Amino acid sequence: MTLPVPVTDEPSIWTALLGQDLTIRHVQVGEWNTRVLEAGSGPETVVLLHGVGGHLEAYARNIPALAAHHRVIAYDYPGHGLTTPTTRPLELPDYVEHLVGLLDALDVDRAHLNGESLGGWIAVKIAHAHPERVGRIVLNTPGGALSDPAVRERIRSLSQAAADDPADERIRARVTWLMADPASVTQELVDVRRTIYAQPPFAESMRNIMCLQDGDTRARNMITDEELDAIETPALVVWTSDDPSGPAAVGLRMAERLSNGRFELIQGAGHWPQWEQHRHFNELVLAFLKGDARVSAG
């Protein structure tokens, strides 16, 4: 299948970050040589957590807006991006342990967490297990609250096909799944992901990070009602009009169970509202991190 190459006036990754003082380096966290981007120098830290099979460039359109007010950290998980590939399956405790280790390595005692998909799943788990390390949490189309076999198989098949054969059309098909509008998929984004997926060890790494799409593995890692009920930190749950992972009712239910939860629906976006509707997303998040009673910017 050949998908259309889009024409878009949205910023490229480079132009979005152009003029922003930032560093990208590798930080050793246990066995993981972790790629980390840092920008900004505000009094509070915001950590950006991407989705499964993703990489820190997913937040290129958000980093400058957030870094104007906060210290911002974006990173590639174990087995993801340009961090050390994994030779074993990784489950939620692995990601939580790694993030705690990264915060320690970067001398961050407490941070706000802004997580998309798997990133939101990790944010919930760490907010429950280590509440002293967490300020506010943004759960952006979060995973871990739904286990739809068809969605799980779609994510697995698209992701593994792209890692096994990182041709343009396979990478584009995987990234297009994330979007409401195929025109949101820039050639630059495809090129970045293809470069990552073309690393020789990455196909095996993908098989191992896809373990969360297995029914039994996912079941033992799911977000529980007890965990949501116990979290007291303020939480913003963001869902979208066209999320392919599940209906907005999933996010609304999460927000209702969280004692300090709020819910926002972003129109015209799929699984990546931080990319497709980045201006609206940035306004929502900045208002929420500031503690504004009224979050909505729409």
The answer to whether 270 and 241 have CB atoms below 8 angstroms apart is no
Q: Return the amino acid letter for 111.
A: A
The alpha carbon torsion through 129, 132, 138, 141 (nearest 10 deg) reads: -10
Strands 71-75 and 111-116: unpaired
> Per the structure block, which two tokens stand in for 30?
């246990």
Active site residue 112: no
Alpha-carbon distance values, 91 to 79, 121, 176 (Å)? 11, 11, 25
Q: Report the distance separating Cα 55 and Cα 74, nearest Å.
A: 9
Which stretch of DSSP H or E encloses residue 92? helix 92-105
**Given 80, 98, 271, 278, which residue is catalytic?**
271
DSSP single-letter state for residue 224:
P
Find residue 28's DSSP bridge partners.
33
Exposure string for 74-106, b = 16+ CB within 10 A, e = fewer:
bbbbbbbbbbbbbeeebebebbbebbebbbeeb
What are the residue numbers of the active site?
271
